[in-house]
Amino acid sequence: MKSLTGQLLVAMPQMLDQRFARSVIYLCAHSEDAGAMGLVINKLLGSLMLGELFTQLDISPSGAADSRPVHFGGPVEAGRGFVLHTADYSEGTTMIVDGNIAVTATLEILRAIGKGQGPRRSLFALGYAGWAPGQLDAEIQANGWLSVTADDDIIFDTDQDGKWRRALGRLGIDLSMLSTDAGHA
């Protein structure tokens, strides 16, 4: 299977794992040898706000950065933070995923966001979704996921509930026409 790096993964309606039901994941990396890593972009960690993390990290924000929600990035390393952002911001450890989207996992980016000097658009997530080599490919073949071209507006939109439907809509899919049964032609 070709690399899906930089694509959105959209959970099929029959996804049984509640951590991923109706989820949209931005794939930061996907290869045959290393597996895959992505961030869930449409689920929040309850009512946790970035301001609470700024307080814990002794960062003094200016502006409205502290009122932004914290996302559930996935179940792996749930205490590790990631900022998915536009590539107009970069530092030494920033991973540019495609020409416009990057991911950074440092305190420096949080300080920059707090000062209003960070990327133009971003979301902060705790944890990530990860797959062993071949695992994601098998889940896609078993009709667990669909992939769709990433869209900045879907990634960074604040309407978390609408992201799943909008991502499916980009494929021209009518939810009522999706089968919950896997099969092969």
CATH topology of domain 7-78+124-177: VC0467-like (3.40.1740)
Question: Do residues 73 and 129 make contact, with C-beta atoms less than 8 angstroms apart?
Answer: yes
In the predicted structure, residue 176 carries a pLDDT above the cut 60: no
**pTM attached to this predicted model:** 0.91
In the block, tokens 């794939």 appear at 27
pLDDT per residue as tens digits for the range 9-44: 999 998 888 899 999 999 999 999 999 999 999 999
Instruction: List strand residue ranges (DSSP E) for 88-158, in order.
Output: 95-96, 101-104, 122-131, 145-149
Give the mean model confidence (pLDDT) for residues 127-155.
95
Which residue has 């797959």 as its token pair? 131
Query: Residue 108: is its pLDDT beyond 90?
Result: yes
* 179 pLDDT above the threshold of 70: no
Helix (H) or strand (E) holding 59: none
Q: Determine the Cα–Cα distance for residues 77 and 72; give it in Å rounded to an integer.
A: 11
Q: Which pLDDT tens digit goes with each residue over 41-100?
A: 999 998 889 989 888 888 888 777 778 999 999 999 999 999 999 999 999 999 999 989
Q: Average pLDDT in the 159-182 region?
A: 77
